[in-house]
Amino acid sequence: MENVGDTAKEPSLSAGTAQLNIECSMVQACDSQKEDFEVLLGEVRDSFSHYLRKRPMIASCLVFVAGFYVGWKVKPW
């Protein structure tokens, strides 16, 4: 009878280990995706700032339009 109980505990132990392995692999995959996303955001930021430095009139128009929009949405009257 003890053997039956021992074999019943082993699959749950294996299932727990398998679940832990799956969670670890998911964490590693998410970390690598997070790093890739951070690199992508850095590249987009650099290219956007380079574009706006070459075209200051566009940058000032964008800031004006954004300020106008926020001012319109937050109007106190």
Query: The tokens 């053997």 sit on which residue?
Result: 3
Both tokens of 22, joined, read 């799956």
- Tell me: the pLDDT tens digits for 25-66? 777 777 777 778 888 899 999 999 999 899 999 999 999 999
Nearest to 17 by CA among 29, 28, 9: 9
Instruction: Categorize the per-residue pLDDT at 22 as very low, low, confident or very high, splitting at 50, 70 and 90.
Output: confident
**Alpha-carbon span 5 to 16, nearest angstrom:** 17
How many alpha carbons fall within 13 Å on the CB side of residue 75?
5
The angle, 0 to 180 degrees and rounded to 10, between the axes of the packed helices 2-54 and 56-73 is 120
pTM: 0.48
Domain ranges of the chain: 2-73
